[in-house]
Chains A and B, each alone.
Chain A
Amino acid sequence: MMSAVLQYIAFLVILVVLAVPLGKYSADVMDGNRVFLSPILSPVEKLIYKLTGVRKDEEMTWKTYLICVLYFFFIGMAFLFVFQMLQDKLPFNPQNIDPMSWHLSFNTAASFATNTNWQAYSGEGQLSYFSQFMGLTTQNFVSAATGIAVLYALVRAFVRVKKTTIGNFWVDMTRATLYILLPLSIIVTIVLFSQGVVQNFAPGQTAHLVEPVAADSEGNWIEGAKIDLNTHTVTVHGKKVDDAAIITDQFVPMGPGASQIAIKQLGTNGGGFMGVNSAHPLEDPNVLTNLIECIALLLIPAALCFSFGLSIKNKKQGKAIFAAMFIMLVVFLGIIAYNEQAATPQLAHDNAVNIAMTDDQAGGNMEGKEARFGIAQSATWAAFTTAASNGSVNSMHDSYTPLGGLVTMLQMQLGEVIFGGVGCGLYGMLGFALLTVFIAGLMVGRTPEFLCKKIEPYEMKWAVLVCLATPIGILVASGIAAVWPDVAQSLNNAGAHGFSEMLYAYSSAGGNNGSAFAGFNANTPFLNVSIGLTMIFVRLLPIIGILAIAGSMVQKKKIAVTAGTLSTTNSMFVFLLIFVVLLVGALNFFPALSLGPIAEYFSMIM
């Protein structure tokens, strides 16, 4: 018991200890200051500006900034789409993998350009190395950098007084990639490949199975078969199986994994190199890699809270936002951990199965979890990955207990603002902060203001849209899918859990998360297109809203702090902010959650 609690505490403490200095460093980078890596990276930065024709000191209005984001988004997506469609004709395809279908390619391109990394495909089987590292890895970097850029456009709007411009998108995006994401990725990559994560360009290998297995004529595994290699016969319960194939070798996937896995964790992307993501032993082989990957997935979003405080010259504000996020994270982590450790009566099977936590075993609900991670390392990852809009997994959320699974879903439905994606989680939370000061202002009858700038109807309209983008995306799309004829065939489990699988899919898309109740077969034309469009909608609408707010805020004057000003840095504000986030989420999603995980919970205990 103690050792499990210590593990949870270790994760949280390490996260905060690393986030504070990274926050300071990132603030310097985004404010355009020199940092300790400048001597090495500054020449590269200048080279990139030269190659792309960027004028470093050119300032942009919010509309120009937005147009640049959109051009960059759609062109990046188009490149990825084309790579995947032509992967059989491009190099680095030693497994001779076929091109993707148009709808799967659209879905995947939308998924990685929006920083979602929803995967309707399996990496080792359906993507060439070229598509993986030229396409996905690139988008992993730049989609995360875009999030940081948009965040800093908003930061400048609060800092600047009576101006019209909010920075230069190309400079912001380049500096975020070069100074923040790239150095961290290099460190993580080196740790990963030294511990057994694959990093090569070799084709997949085959290895000798100690015990051969048999498959029937349709290619399905025959359970309980007796195999005689000398006479080449397969028998089941004494009966010979005709046309059975004996399989003597195993597939061992290869490829440039570590470098892609590093950035998919750091950039809150989450798209696994392998189909089962970091549950795969070649993607996350031991507790050291798991610690690094798990911390990496929440590190930058947590650090940016402190960067925000430093850049707006109000450290307390950064800490207040961090506190609101951290409190929610700890509570949700606690609920997941408790439920997974308690497991289910169906698994305990009247005490025939030992689900107790001892020194020799993790116990708990181990279905879909790896022995090396047990409950603590799996539950922590599940809480972190759905809090951050990362979406990578090291255990299968589909096999979580009803309430453990509910929390992972709820964290996404809250709009991915409990740290959330790199940059986008924080600007989403700032949308909620505007909503909070507005509601609080109405209650006390004062004009709402945030960081000494007046909040007026124009900003409020956009803030509401930013906050409601996720609920609208999830509820509309999953509502349509629920009545669409063939969707039921994609479900892997029956009853309420089947509904949960579909709701999870759209929650994941609508929160730009990317994790899945992976039994759900999402690779159909309808699901690929509808999930793809949902991801684009919930990515772009908040970006447009935040930049519009920035464009308006930057023109305002600062008003003096008086005794009547509502403090946005005290514990009262932290409480109100949490309250508003939960209220919006609960009101929107309670009915849908009742039909899925809550219904399943009650049928489980009956």
Chain B
Amino acid sequence: MRNFKTALLSVIVFTVFCGFIYTAVMTGIAQAVAPKAANGSLIEVNGVNYGSELLGQPFTSEKHMWGRAVNIDVKSYKDSNGNQLAYGGPTNKTPASVEYNKIIGERIEKIRKANPERGNEPIPVDLVTASGSGLDPDISLAAARYQVPRLARENNMSEKAVSAIIDACTSPKVLGFFGEATVNVLKVNLMLDGVLH
């Protein structure tokens, strides 16, 4: 019976120490030393919240750079006024089925139609696949460069100017080998739209 009492007290004490105190202290330090990062890395320009630089958004306009294949969830979240909010999720499809082969075929068709300059050039794989989170903010450098001719045409810019924007939004591999070289799609599009400079 003494052990039962100790067990009960231990659950309470550890809930306070590991649950409450640990979380509260960590939150306090985070808010003091890294408030922007700890609050979602939001991009605010002239009072408008353009989203988190870490969260992908769906882009289908030909003027904008496209990100990973779009899989949006508009059902799960609502704002306080009851309006639906966009979010993302994975497809969880097996890449080895006939059904998947069909889905990829449709994505290829759409991308080729929007990028006639590229003809039948093989499309970089991350453009035709959906990400793990459905909120991937990045695409590979190859996928970004693939879209340069279209972006230049649609935005009346030179390909050089588009490439310069892409370079400005690229994170290279760490130490030249670790991770992947990626391009932040939201930042590129905000720069194409003239919101960010």
Contact = CB atoms under 8 A, between A and B. Distances in A.
With most chain B CB atoms within 10 A of its CB, the pick from A68, A173, A250 is A250
What secondary structure prevails in chain B residues at the interface with A? mixed
A349 B37 contact: no
B194 to A, nearest CB: 12
Given A360-B145, A368-B131, A497-B97, A281 B54 contact: yes
A193 B141 contact: no
What secondary structure prevails in chain A residues at the interface with B? mixed
A35 interface: no
Contacts of A33: none
A51 B9 contact: yes
Nearest to A259: B26
Given A122-B76, A366-B126, A497 B94 contact: yes
Interface in A423-481: none
A256 interface: yes
A397 B85 CA distance: 27
Interface stretch (A202-210, A231-239, A534-542): A202-210
A494 B102 CA distance: 14
A259 B94 contact: no
A243 interface: no
Contact of B27 (A52, A182, A200): A200
Given A349-B108, A370-B138, 5 more contacts: A177-B18, A186-B26, A210-B186, A221-B74, A354-B123
A193 B26 CA distance: 9
A370 B131 contact: yes
A234 to B, nearest CB: 13
A67 B85 CA distance: 49
B110 to A, nearest CB: 8
Contact of A68 (B6, B9, B93, B129): B6
A518 B7 contact: no
30 contacts: A7-B177, A52-B9, A54-B6, A71-B8, A193-B38, A199-B30, A208-B51, A210-B57, A210-B189, A211-B57, A211-B61, A221-B74, A245-B84, A250-B55, A252-B40, A281-B135, A282-B52, A287-B180, A352-B108, A361-B124, A361-B180, A370-B131, A374-B179, A374-B180, A377-B180, A396-B132, A399-B91, A495-B97, A517-B92, A601-B96
A276 interface: yes
A53 B5 contact: yes
B176 to A, nearest CB: 7
B68 to A, nearest CB: 7
Given A6-B177, A372-B182, A199 B138 contact: no
Contacts of A395: 132
A399 B22 contact: no
B190 interface: yes
A71 B4 contact: yes
Contacts of A353: 104, 108, 122-123, 125, 128
B42 A207 contact: yes
Interface string B41-57: 11000001111101111
B85 A206 contact: yes
A371 interface: yes
A364 interface: yes
B183 to A, nearest CB: 8
A161 interface: no
A317 interface: no
A590 interface: no
Contacts of A347: 95, 100-101, 104, 125, 128-129
A358 interface: yes
Interface string B95-136: 111111100110010000000000010111110111111111
Contacts of A64: 3
A126 to B, nearest CB: 10
A491 B37 CA distance: 38
Given A3-B173, A361-B143, A399-B92, A287 B178 contact: yes
A246 B90 CA distance: 22
Given A141-B14, A210-B59, A194 B37 contact: yes
Interface of A: 2-3, 6-7, 10, 44, 48, 51-54, 64, 67-68, 71-72, 75-76, 79, 122, 125, 133-135, 137-138, 141-142, 170, 173, 177, 182, 185-186, 189-190, 193-202, 204-211, 213, 215, 219-221, 223-224, 245, 247, 249-252, 254, 256, 258-260, 263, 275-276, 279-282, 285-288, 290-291, 343-344, 346-347, 349, 351-355, 358-374, 377-378, 393-396, 398-402, 492-495, 497, 517-519, 600-601, 603-604
Nearest to B28: A199
B154 to A, nearest CB: 14
A-B interface, 8 closest residue pairs, ranked by CB to CB distance from nearest: A519-B92, A279-B132, A287-B179, A71-B7, A354-B122, A207-B51, A361-B140, A360-B142
B5 A279 contact: no
A81 B176 CA distance: 48
Contacts of A54: 6
Contacts of B15: 79, 134-135, 138
A361 B125 contact: yes
A247 B85 contact: yes
Given A193-B38, A245-B84, A399-B93, A210 B133 contact: no
B75 to A, nearest CB: 5
Nearest to A130: B19
A212 B30 CA distance: 33
A360 B141 contact: yes
Given A215-B74, A371-B138, A208 B83 contact: no
